[in-house]
């Protein structure tokens, strides 16, 4: 573990660390915000998963989350969105390869060797974070767009691991939209049945834990109709009896201006669940 | 005036506009945040001046100011830091030419033709803002680093124009530090007497209006000893009897993490002065 950035921020510390990931077979950077309360004792951890084209920087520089994390005493961990490096498979498109890991374990070459973001987020990263920072066992998870998909899928597949889950503008049904179809075809192959293990709308149907889902979606989001389709999650939750709070936010788009506007409410939601 | 960005943000609207600047002789982009209160009636305007290498994007994407501007009902205008474009003189260094206008009127070629950021900020931009947005006559000004220098100089040179002024990590004495010596030599020539018209520590000595200065400075700022030297402003204010609140903030550096941590207090300060 090598610290590559450290900045005082809202009385705490915004840091970026680098480590050699055994899961992903490459060096990975991740960001961690330590609130002022972490100097006194352990704090719950909110994991944030970013969207397509992002790395560990976007959320920490643009969302303004540190103000609320400092207020509530929450550690926030923001990893990169894919394996990286010269030896890691890539694609020229913005929505495949580096920057577009989709938080799954790829089964098809050339992707399978490194693209195991699911195992990284579920196993390696929390173990690393718990070993190096003053964490309690309480965890929450959230994310944006592809990262909202990741947060929902990871929470639904791991009952008991998280006290809370939320998402901004998530890709709720990747099996049914162009971004997901392209990525899943490449990473998982053509067996659409296998895709359902990575699709929140399918996972809700068989969830054994009814962890409430909080989803914010802007109604001026350019990707709403083609890629996001939150009504598919609403329908799946209604059918399964899974608790969902889906808030359509009037006039908001897909940008970090939207995330910044509501991240305070999300962090309060997670803090209540993690500290309650 | 052409709108080139619009995002809902904290119930208001974060916008970027482009116009042909007659002062600068080029197209200029500037950002404006309209709080929700601007839908109901006119609001005071806080002008924000960014630092070296920045354009109109840095502050609006990284400072998290919109949360506080929405809370207090303040319009925030963030211009670019220099003229831009192929026909505009430039330099390969980050601290001269485009991105480094220093908020002055250049008198030496090749700079004098376009580098008139002082006139732009004092005259053209406020006239444009007042003509197109629901503003009151109350104005405040703030900025960071080179922009902190700009805010202090512009407020001190224009008594009555601003109700409030503040700065983060300002270059308080450009005549006496490498960044300022390089820029002033290029833009203004070798007559150091002429430089004093653009140096806050010199302007404080002859100010006719005792507008209080609020300055935040991180004590872990890499530029503190070489470029910023806030004690020179403290000394000048003490000699002149000019009101100054200089807060040395422990552990904070020169980054936007520092600005984000205290911009809420600055906006509250400006709001009180502008609405009081």
Give the model confidence (pLDDT) of B117-157 as tens digits.
Answer: 999 999 999 999 999 999 999 999 999 999 999 999 999 99
R_g over Cα of chain A: 17
Report the domain count for chain B: 1
Cβ distance of B9 and A61 shorter than 8 Å: no
CA distance B12 to chain A (A): 10
Name the active-site residue from A114, A144, A221, A269. Answer: A221
CA distances from B72 to B7, B33, B267 (A): 19, 12, 8
| Residue B62 contacts A where some CB pair is shorter than 8 Å | yes
Ordered DSSP codes for A219-275: TT-TTIIIII-HHHHHHHHHHHT--EEEEEETT--SSHHHHHHHHHHHHHHHHHHHH
Which residue on chain B is closest to A33 by alpha carbon? B257
Q: pLDDT value at position A228?
A: 98
pLDDT one-digit tens code per residue, A218-240: 999 999 999 999 999 999 999 99
CA distance B67 to chain A (A): 7
Residue A73: both structure tokens together = 């005493």
**Closest Cβ opposite residue A220 in set B8, B252, B253:** B8
| Residue A62 contacts B where some CB pair is shorter than 8 Å | yes
pTM greater than 0.95: yes
Q: pLDDT value at position B276?
A: 82
Residues 152-211 of B with CB under 8 A from A: none
Contact residues on chain B for A16, CB-CB shorter than 8 A: none
CA distance A122 to chain B (A): 29
H/E segment holding residue B15: strand B12-21
Cβ distance of B61 and A62 shorter than 8 Å: yes
- What's the rounded mean pLDDT across residues A42-60? 98
Long-range pairs for B88-92 at CB < 8 Å and ≥24 separation?
A: B88/B25, B88/B26, B88/B114, B89/B113, B89/B114, B89/B115, B91/B186
The whole-angstrom separation of Cα B212 and Cα A63 is: 32
Which residue on chain A is closest to B255 by alpha carbon? A7
The whole-angstrom separation of Cα A114 and Cα A102 is: 13
pLDDT of residue A68 exceeding 90, the answer is yes
Per the annotation, the verdict on A254 as an active-site residue is yes
CA distance A214 to chain B (A): 19
| Residue A7 contacts B where some CB pair is shorter than 8 Å | yes
Q: pLDDT value at position B203?
A: 98
| Residue B8 contacts A where some CB pair is shorter than 8 Å | yes
Cβ distance of B258 and A7 shorter than 8 Å: yes
What CATH number is associated with residue A239?
3.40.50.1820
Per the annotation, the verdict on A190 as an active-site residue is no
Q: pLDDT value at position B156?
A: 98
Percent of chain A with pLDDT over 90: 100
**Closest Cβ opposite residue B14 in set A11, A257, A264:** A257
User: A276: pLDDT confidence band, cut at 50, 70 and 90?
Assistant: confident
Q: pLDDT value at position A47?
A: 99
CA distance B242 to chain A (A): 30
- What's the rounded mean pLDDT across residues A159-183? 98
R_g over Cα of chain B: 17
| Residue B275 contacts A where some CB pair is shorter than 8 Å | no
Which residue on chain A is closest to B10 by alpha carbon? A261
Q: pLDDT value at position B261?
A: 98
User: A63: pLDDT confidence band, cut at 50, 70 and 90?
Assistant: very high
Name the active-site residue from A72, A114, A144, A254. Answer: A254
3-state secondary structure of B109: coil
**Closest Cβ opposite residue A8 in set B14, B61, B253:** B253
Which residue on chain B is closest to A15 by alpha carbon? B257
Intervals of chain B under pLDDT 70: none
Cβ distance of A258 and B61 shorter than 8 Å: no
What is the extent of the structural domain holding A117?
A: 2-274
- What's the rounded mean pLDDT across residues A8-29? 98
Helix axes A256-275, B65-72, angle to 10 degrees: 90
């Amino acid at each position: 573990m090598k610290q590559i950035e450290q900045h005082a921020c809202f009385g705490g510390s915004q840091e970026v660390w680098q480590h050699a990931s055994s899961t992903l077979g490459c060096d990975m950077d991740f960001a961690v915000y330590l609130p002022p309360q972490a100097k006194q004792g352990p704090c719950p951890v909110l994991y944030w998963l970013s969207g397509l084209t992002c790395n560990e920087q976007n959320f920490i520089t643009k969302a303004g989350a540190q103000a609320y994390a400092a207020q509530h005493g929450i550690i926030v961990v923001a990893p990169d969105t894919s394996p990286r490096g010269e030896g890691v498979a890539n694609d020229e498109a913005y929505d495949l390869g580096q920057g577009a890991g989709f938080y799954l374990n790829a089964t098809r070459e050339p992707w399978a060797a490194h693209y195991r973001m699911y195992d990284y987020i579920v196993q390696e990263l929390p173990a690393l974070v718990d070993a190096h920072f003053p964490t309690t066992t309480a965890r929450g998870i959230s994310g944006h767009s592809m990262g909202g998909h990741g947060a929902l899928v990871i929470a639904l597949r791991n009952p008991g691991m998280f006290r809370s889950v939320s998402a901004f503008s998530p890709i709720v049904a990747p099996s049914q939209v162009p971004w997901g179809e392209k990525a899943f075809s490449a990473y998982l192959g053509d067996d659409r049945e296998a895709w359902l293990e990575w699709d929140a709308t399918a996972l809700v149907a068989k969830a054994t834990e009814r962890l409430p889902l909080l989803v914010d979606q802007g109604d001026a989001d350019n990707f709403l109709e083609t890629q996001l389709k939150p009504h598919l999650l609403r329908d799946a939750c209604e059918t399964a009896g899974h608790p969902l709070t889906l808030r359509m936010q009037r006039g908001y788009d897909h940008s970090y201006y939207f995330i910044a506007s509501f991240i305070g409410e999300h962090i309060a939601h997670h803090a209540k669940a993690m500290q309650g």
